[in-house]
Structure 1
Amino acid sequence: MKKCTIKRRYLIQNPKEVVKSILTTSSQYKKNLQQVFVENHPDASKRLAILGARFQTVKECEAFEKDLHPFLCADVSDDKRYKNRYLSLFGLPQNYNFSLLEVYKRCDKLGTKPFDFAFSSGMSTQKVLKVLLYREMQFLEREVELLLEDDAKAVKNLCKRAENICYLLMISTVIFDPILRERLLNAFFPFRCNDRVLLLKFVQHKAYATLLLDMRFFLREQSGFYLLKKSEMPLLFFVKKYLKKEEFRIAKRLKKALY
Structure 2
Amino acid sequence: MKKCTIKRRYLIQNPKEVVKSILTTFPSYKKNLQQLFVENHPDASDRLAVLGTRFHTLNELDAFENDLGSFLCADVSGDKRYKNRYLSLFGLPQNYDFSLLDVYKKCDKIGVRAFDFDFASGMSTQKVLKVLLYREMQFLEHAVELLLDDDAKAPKTLCKIAENIRYILSIGRGVFDDRMAERLIREFESLLSEDREILLKFVQHQAYTTLLLDMRFFLREQSGFYLLKKSEMPLLFFVKKHLKKEEFRIAKRLKKALY
Q: TM-score range by the shorter chain?
A: over 0.9
The residue aligned with 1:258 is 258
- Whether the 8 Å contact between 1:40 and 1:47 is mirrored in structure 2 is no
Contact kept? 2:174, 2:230, Cα under 8 Å: yes
2-structure distance, mates of 1:222, 1:79: 18
Q: Which residue of 2 aligns with 1:16?
A: 16
The aligned residue for residue 38 of structure 1 is 38
Match of 1:199 in 2: 199
Equivalent positions of 1:191-230 (< 5 A) are 191-230=191-230
The separation in 2 between residues aligned to 1:244 and 1:139, in whole angstroms, is 27
Residue 161 in structure 1 maps to residue 139 in structure 2: no
Contact kept, 8 Å, 2:111 with 2:138, in 1: the verdict is yes
Residues 41 and 47 in structure 1, CA contact (< 8 A), matched pair in contact too: no
- Structure 1 residues 202 and 130 mapped into 2: Cα distance closer, same or farther (>3 Å)? same
C-alpha change, 1:174 and 1:182, in structure 2 (3 Å) is same
SS in 1 for 2:114: coil
1:58 corresponds to: 58
Q: CA deviation at 1:39?
A: 3.1
**What does residue 178 of structure 1 align with?**
178
Distance 1:82 1:63 in 2: 23
* Residues 136-185 of structure 1 deviation map (CA, whole Å, 9 limit, x = unaligned): 00000000000000000000000000000000001012100011001101
CA RMSD of aligned residues (A): 1.5
Once the two structures are superposed, the pairs formed by residues 55-204 of structure 1 within 5 Å of their partners are 55-204=55-204
Give the secondary structure class of the aligned counterpart of 1:230: helix
Distance 2:157 2:150 in 1: 13
- Length, aligned pairs only: 259
Q: 2 CA distance for matches of 1:45 and 1:237?
A: 25
State the SS of the aligned residue for 1:11.
strand
Letter in 1 for 2:134: Y
What do residues 174-207 of structure 1 show as CA deviations (whole Å, max 9, x unaligned)?
1000110011011101100111101000000000
- Structure 1 residue ranges without an equivalent (≥5): none
Residue 45 to residue 67, structure 1, CA distance change in 2 (3 Å): farther
Determine the C-alpha separation between the residues in 1 that align with 2:40 and 2:111. Answer: 35
Paired position in structure 1 for 2:243: 243
Where does the alignment leave 5 or more consecutive residues of structure 2 unmatched?
none
